Amino acid sequence: VQLVESGGGLVQPGKSLKLSCSASGFTFSSYGMHWIRQAPGKGLDWVAYISSSSGTVYADAVKGRFTISRDNAKNTLYLQLNSLKSEDTAIYYCARRGARGYFDYWGQGVMVTVSS
Amino acid sequence: AIVLNQSPSSIIASQGEKVTITCRASSSISSNYLHWYQQKPGAFPKLVIYSTSYRASGVPSRFSGSGSGTSYSFTISRVEAEDVATYYCQQGSSNPNTFGAGTKLELK
């Protein structure tokens, strides 16, 4: 199993960014997937979830601004980040959902910095 | 949202010492849905214990977990240098999934 995030970078407040997570080594379409973030020096903060059937759930802090999606043909998970705020600055990890709600595989993370 | 209160926030231990971390939930969780992660400095988190007491693949037997309802614990029976990390509990019982604030383990 391998998860590789990309698309991070420095962006101004109010702007947008789209993160990708390329999956391999398992049947991507059969698994729910999550995005989790970690602000510098802080703890883990769950962001969003998409089920294998593309149902979605969001943390209150990002609801209406972020959109999680997936392309099973490309084995890729996405996170569209709109109306970015300084408090969205973090490492963003994608993770696979295990059978009982744990995160059994994680990507290495991608840094998003929101600053003017 | 279920809040997970993790304590202590930091531990300084000697090699060979036993350490225990506690995770208390604001409401009852099925033990099937309480999990523990290890995050070493500069690395992504790694699943260590799932469903309260089951060790993930490749995890040494010195790591264990127990608990039920609203009270859970994570124990390292004999700390080794490679265990220096921050440990997090997590509940996957209800949305939003939540994490404890973390416990930073350092060696004396």
Residue with tokens 């059978």: A99
Decide if pLDDT at B28 tops 90: yes
Decide if pLDDT at B82 tops 90: yes
Going through A28-109 in order, the beta strands assigned E by DSSP cover: 33-38, 44-50, 56-58, 66-71, 76-81, 90-97, 103-106
Average pLDDT, chain B: 97
Q: What is the pLDDT of residues A62-102, one digit of tens each?
A: 999 999 999 999 999 999 999 999 999 999 999 999 989 99
A55 and chain B in contact, CB less than 8 A: no
List the single residue in B50, B95, B96 with the smallest CB-CB distance to A102. Answer: B50
pLDDT given for residue A107 in this prediction: 98
List the single residue in B35, B39, B86 with the smallest CB-CB distance to A102. Answer: B35
pLDDT given for residue A101 in this prediction: 92
